Amino acid sequence: MVASAVSDFSITVPIVTGIAEEVGMPRKDLHIRRSTRRAISLMETLVAMFVLALAGVAVLNLFATSHESRNEASIRLAATMRGEEALSRFLGASEQDRDDYLRDGEALPKGDANLPSGSTTTFAAQSETLALGREQVRVRVLRVRATVSDAQGNTLAALERLEPVADGSNP
């Protein structure tokens, strides 16, 4: 037979008649006070809020990391585009302008809005002879390297192009 009792201050857990007496437990110890139940509910709520807060922090961290990665990618893309444009101008320039670019380092006006302030583009040119194919055909080339760096000297992008050089001319 199952019995349960409800009073103003306590709730009795359903028990099978006679089991409590058999194990020597007084019947009054089976009662859970309302204040105890409220404390347990409060603890459950606090634990649930803590778990949700941890999940929220993880999501916010994910957003922050994503934003930082997007900014870095945007800067690298802008630096690569600036390097490509600088190489195009260098390779299309006259010998005098090339000498100026190599000396001064800038083929483009400063102040690209997508790059960090103080970013610079430098050039390096080197003449060399390459051996190509099975027949080892020798070809003289001018290896041009454009490097875009930030104000601290960190390389944002480095691009290289080879330009064939006609025999008998100085690169």
The model's pLDDT over 126-165, given as tens digits with 9 standing for 90+, comes to 888 888 888 888 888 888 898 888 888 898 999 999 888 8
Query: What is the full DSSP assignment across 32-59?
Result: EEHHHHHHHHHHHHHHHHHHHHHHHHHH
Domain segments of the chain as ranges:
63-164
169/171 Cα distance (integer angstroms):
6
Residue pLDDT, tens place only, 43-66: 888 899 999 999 999 999 999 999
pLDDT band at 19 (very low <50, low <70, confident <90, very high): low
pTM over 0.75: no
Percent of the chain with pLDDT over 90: 14
pLDDT band at 69 (very low <50, low <70, confident <90, very high): very high
* CA dist 22 → 70, 87, 131 (Å): 70, 94, 99
